[in-house]
Structure 1
Amino acid sequence: MVRVGLTAERLTRAGAELADEVGFDQVTVSALARRFDVKAASLYSHVRNSRDLKARIALLALEELADRVSAALAGRAGKDALTALANVYRDYAREHPGRYAAAQLRLTPEEAAAGAGGRHAGMMRAVLRGYDLTEPDRTHAVRLLGSVFHGYVGLESGGSFSHSAPDSEESWSRVLDALDALLRNWPAQP
């Protein structure tokens, strides 16, 4: 019998909240069942297993993040768009560390096709149009930006920048200045 009030969407949202509280790696069907004070077996009519639950959380996080990026990019171009994009990723990671970690989950091709990953790539490419890059350099630049944003956020959230001057905020600003300069002066292919 399906427990009243439990749905796949409600479980996904509760799993996302749990991920923010205890870490994405700690999210399991059993942990979620404890949150609802039910037996884990009662959740299996809504999610197949812990991997399915995690994929649903990842898709939710990607959707939330894409919505924020879309709103932040409206009417912006060049460095202003680059900064808005970067700040959305960083702010989301700070507000929702578990969901941000979930957004890094490797999805199956079917899961990825159903998610907002394509929107993210499209918006990043839209930002790069302001820098007049052509393929394959645009793809290289997408990978560079993703690496810098995710790397910085990961190091910052782990406390790597909290023990020395200048503060992390100043470094973030300088990193974005450097990325803008690099994108405006992208090296020619050999």
Structure 2
Amino acid sequence: MARAGLTAERVTLAGAELADEVGLDHVTMSAVARRLGVKDASLYAHVRSLEDLRGRIALLAADEKTIRIAEATAGRAGKDALVAYANAYRAYAHDHPGRYTATQIPMRIDPELAAEAPGPRRAVELTYGMLRAYALDEPGLTDAVRLVRSTLHGFVSLEAAGGFAHARPVEDSWTSCLDALHTSLKHWPTRREGDPS
């Protein structure tokens, strides 16, 4: 019988908090059970496995990150939207490092849960919407989405790993990267799919 007050959502949140504190790799069913003050077996009435728990953490984080980005970019366009989007993305990665990691790792997520979670789908819509002001056509639009994601993820991942040891302030580099990203998006190459290089 499930312990009173214990739900899949509560177990997921406890796992997410633990991931932020100690890293996603250190989240175990036993550690989450200790955090909640229950026996390991109690968790299995709410989540099927550690992989299921990590998938739920990823969906929770995707929802949270998407909400943060949506709020930051509302009513903005062009470079203003790009900068707001990037700053919200980076702030989420700083505030919730374990959850952010969960959103970047391919994992098997219960299809029913994934279908009910708006975060991943809404994140794609927000990214394409943010780029609308740059008037890109396919396949350039998809390429631009990949460039934005690669740039932001690369920067925050290197930053989190202590990869920026140079004396130049990281904030200055961040601003320059966003300026360069904006310039690239404004002057996107017009070569079409299948054209020779």
Equivalent in the alignment of 1:132: 135
Give the CA deviation at 1:107. Answer: 4.2
Report the Cα distance in structure 2 between the residues aligned to 1:18 and 1:137, rounded to whole angstroms: 39
Give the CA deviation at 1:64. Answer: 0.4
Given the alignment of the two structures, is residue 87 of structure 1 paired with residue 87 of structure 2, yes or no? yes
Q: How large is the RMSD of aligned CA atoms in angstroms?
A: 1.2
Which of 180, 183, 197 lines up with 1:181 in the alignment? Answer: 183
Give the CA deviation at 1:30. Answer: 1.4
Provide structure 2 residue ranges, at least 5 long, that are not aligned to the other structure: none
Provide structure 1 residue ranges, at least 5 long, that are not aligned to the other structure: none
Equivalent in the alignment of 2:49: 49
Equivalent in the alignment of 2:146: 143
Cα pair 2:14 2:36 within 8 Å, conserved: no
Identity %: 54
Per-residue CA deviation, residues 126-171 of structure 1 (Å, 9 max, x unaligned), is 111110101110000000100000000000011111x212111000
Give the CA deviation at 1:41. Answer: 0.7
Equivalent in the alignment of 2:17: 17
Give the CA deviation at 1:105. Answer: 2.8
3-state SS in 1 of match to 2:104: coil
- Written as runs of structure 1 = structure 2, the 5 A alignment for 1:18-37 is 18-37=18-37
Report the Cα distance in structure 2 between the residues aligned to 1:2 and 1:156, rounded to whole angstroms: 41
Cα pair 2:12 2:56 within 8 Å, conserved: yes
Report the Cα distance in structure 2 between the residues aligned to 1:113 and 1:142, rounded to whole angstroms: 22
Which of 168, 171, 191 lines up with 1:166 in the alignment? Answer: 168
Regions of 4+ moved over 6 Å: none
AA of the residue aligned to 1:91? A
TM-score, normalized by length of structure 1?
0.95
Give the CA deviation at 1:42. Answer: 1.0
Given the alignment of the two structures, is residue 59 of structure 1 paired with residue 59 of structure 2, yes or no? yes
Range that drifts further, 104-113 or 65-74: 104-113
AA of the residue aligned to 1:37? G
3-state SS in 1 of match to 2:106: coil
TM-score, normalized by length of structure 2?
0.92
Give the CA deviation at 1:76. Answer: 0.2
Aligned positions, number: 189
Give the CA deviation at 1:112. Answer: 4.0
3-state SS in 2 of match to 1:186: coil
